[in-house]
Amino acid sequence: MGNLKAKHVINPPVFFSASALILLLVGYTVFFPDDADFRFTLLQSSIMTNYSWFYVMAVALILICVAYLGLSRYGNIKLGPDHSEPAFSFGSWFAMLFSAGMGIGLMFFGVAEPVLHFMSPPVGESGTIEAAKQAMEITFFHWGLHAWAIYAIVALILAFFGYRHGLPLTLRSALYPLIGDRIYGIAGHAIDVFAILGTIFGVATALGYGVLQVNSGLNYLFGVEISTNTQVILIIVITALATLSVATGLEKGIRRLSELNLLLALMLLVMVVALGPTVLLMQLFVQNTGGYLSDIVNKTFNLYAYQPTEWIGGWTLFYWAWWLSWSPFVGMFIARISRGRTIREFVMGVLFVPTGLTLIWMTAFGNTAIDMILHHGYTALGEAVQTDVPIALFKFLEHFPFSNVLSMIAIAMVVIFFVTSSDSSAMVVDMLASGGSNKTPLWQRIFWSSMIGIVAMVLLLAGGLKALQTVTIASALPFSVILLISAYGLLKALAIDAAKKESLTTTRLTPKVGQKTIPWQKRLAVLVHYPRRKDVKQFITERVLPAMESVAGELGKQGVESTIQLETEKQIPSLVVLHGDEVDFFYKVTPRAYLQPTFMLDDEDDEDLEYFRAEVFLREGGQGYDIMGWTQDQVIGDIIDQYEKHMNFLQMVR
């Protein structure tokens, strides 16, 4: 599998095509708003009516697939080479994926959705105990495992092929199991353009609607006028903050903002639980979770076919389509921050941990709001939610002590959630438009961050937000087909990787002939000697490279094509044996740094604490053993051993 190569940092067919299509679609919705709204709404309605069964089946299969991958033998495979380690701590990783994936939705719907289901359930009488139970089960269902499974499968596909097999970290790599190297052609360009459009329009429409909530909160607290002008100013401020964040990079900007927002979210959650009906909420969380898990299969496949209702199209199917339409952006972002984690660790982190926090959040806010209406007579809260969803959170918080403080925290969270969504989406779009590169000029990141804000502002002024939101959701249908086929391709690729791991550990090698053991004194000297980088590089030049040349020469005599590749910067040689359509054999020895043990350090001279090992790397990554000090014949023997295991692996997968 090769790498996408381009003379420019941007990938011109993707960059310019996406920019042009964004202008055309925004122009269409601005200058022909009624026609755009009619056509896009008709398209979405047709999809929801005729393909609701497919959405339900697709999301169910995705959840089953992700859960299986986390629990199966594939769980130990890393999203990257075998020697790779996670770039971020678990806390930072979780904060970033949570902020990008769902944070803003919890602020908007944490109170509103449970109350709306309570006031108007799909079946049964409204405003009753049964309606309250049903409202929480439905809310858990919409915001639980299914939503995160959709994000997880996209991220798994991209991270696996991107980090483990060297494909570009863009959506085109999801097509590799289907079309192979043709991902570098028109089909690959088209899927990346599709992902850019979905990301830009999805985030822009969410930003356009989200400033309504910020404006409502500012009006509630400070009397700021609710108007289009105010909302435009808010979009400008949020876009400016997002641009500043994305300009500073993933490590400094996006990570720190995400951690701050998670901290604020936990603070608000704790205050609502502590100041609300604490014991009741603990009881309800346990009961809600039990109800959700016990009924998850029925709800997963329930289309209300025996009780036809428009409710499912306005809620469940809308959510499934919305999560699918956002998954290229969120999935790519999660893949970007997940290098080095095992599949099992990834699934546990992406599927179960965010779901758990989401369910706690919905219980705290949703059940408290329902309790206020059902048992304390705050019917005005239910009426306010039904009338004006953006104000729901602030109307809810006014019933608490320190309501102004809580509302200030909520407004800060909404703003930061939008900033983190905007900056992470700008980073993802920049990668898509640059062939997967994460080292791009500052102007590109600023361009895409500004584009999101401009699109949101123009659509807000022209009234085209609903039309583009509709077409974004409609795009989920073709993408879900691609996603299911790509998931099948991922399973096939993982089976091959698992076979390679099994081959490396179980292959019975041919008895070695003519290899002399190293004298024990020399072996002991190697064990207590801690070489520098220059020593390992000298060993590679004097022993490893000649060994590779000898093996390559002998392979040539046997009619097998091979090559020795030299890394330009580090001057590290790699032996590659070419196998045509099958997987090539790759063998490299490279210096790898470690800290010296403390008992070997001199208190007076501990300036250089590192030493280096000459470690063997295969296509799957570092193998964790050191060959420093081996003779040339012994290095040749190791190459032959690894090649014999590779040939056995090819036999297993044929």
**152 lies in a domain?**
yes
- If one counts the domains in the chain, the total is 2
> 358 and 453: one domain?
yes
**78 lies in a domain?**
no
Are the CB atoms for 365 and 385 separated by under 8 Å?
Answer: no
pLDDT for the residue numbered 269:
94
> 329 and 257: one domain?
yes
pLDDT for the residue numbered 326:
85
pLDDT band for position 33 (50/70/90)? confident
Residue 283 has pLDDT above 70, yes or no: yes
The structure tokens listed for 232 are: 């435009």
The structure tokens listed for 161 are: 């092929």
Are the CB atoms for 260 and 412 separated by under 8 Å?
Answer: no
Least confident range from 170-179, 403-412, 579-588: namely 170-179
**81 lies in a domain?**
no
* Contacting residues for 300 by C-beta, under 8 A, at least 6 apart: 56, 59, 60, 63, 146
Rg (CA), the chain: 28
> 450 and 581: one domain?
no
Residue spans of alpha helices (H) in 388-539 = 392-397, 403-432, 442-462, 465-474, 476-506, 520-528, 533-539
> 490 and 549: one domain?
no
> 374 and 475: one domain?
yes
> 123 and 261: one domain?
yes
What's the whole-number mean pLDDT along residues 493-517?
A: 73
Residue 3 has pLDDT above 70, yes or no: no
**76 lies in a domain?**
no
Are the CB atoms for 245 and 259 separated by under 8 Å?
Answer: no
Residue 338, SS3 per DSSP:
coil
**387 lies in a domain?**
yes
Of the three residues 495, 526, 560, the one that is the final residue of a domain is 495
Residue 2 has pLDDT above 50, yes or no: no
What CATH number is given to the structural domain containing 413?
Answer: 1.20.1740
Of the three residues 495, 524, 550, the one that is the final residue of a domain is 495
**82 lies in a domain?**
no
What's the whole-number mean pLDDT along residues 452-468?
A: 85
Burial class (CB in 10 A: 0-12, 13-18, 19+), 353: middle
Strand order in the sheet with 610-618: 562-566, 573-577, 585-595, 610-618, 621-626
Q: Name the packing angle between helices 12-31 and 465-474 (round to 10°).
A: 130
Q: What is the Cα–Cα distance from 67 to 355, expressed in whole angstroms?
A: 13
Domain extent at residue 592: 515-653
Q: What's the predicted TM-score (pTM) here?
A: 0.84
Of the three residues 495, 528, 551, the one that is the final residue of a domain is 495
> 485 and 523: one domain?
no
Tens digit of each residue's pLDDT (9 = 90 or more) over 372-423: 999 988 889 999 898 888 888 999 999 999 888 999 999 988 888 888 888 8
> 428 and 574: one domain?
no
> 389 and 273: one domain?
yes
Write out the H or E segment, with its range, that includes residue 562. Answer: strand 562-566
**427 lies in a domain?**
yes
pLDDT band for position 208 (50/70/90)? confident
Tens digit of each residue's pLDDT (9 = 90 or more) over 316-359: 988 898 898 888 888 988 998 999 999 999 999 999 888 999 99
**502 lies in a domain?**
no
Write out the H or E segment, with its range, that includes residue 613. Answer: strand 610-618
> 198 and 234: one domain?
yes
> 390 and 433: one domain?
yes
Cβ neighbours of 384 (radius 10 Å): 20
pLDDT for the residue numbered 598:
63
Burial class (CB in 10 A: 0-12, 13-18, 19+), 91: exposed
Least confident range from 62-76, 340-354, 446-460, 567-581: namely 567-581
Distances (CA, A) of 641 to 52, 56, 181, 617, 648: 54, 49, 30, 13, 11
> 163 and 50: one domain?
yes
pLDDT for the residue numbered 519:
75
Average pLDDT, the chain: 87
Long-range contacts, 515-519 (Cβ 8 Å, 24+): 515/633, 515/634, 515/637, 516/631, 516/633, 518/629, 518/630, 518/631, 518/634
pLDDT for the residue numbered 521:
74
pLDDT for the residue numbered 37:
84
What's the whole-number mean pLDDT along residues 288-305?
A: 92
pLDDT for the residue numbered 6:
38
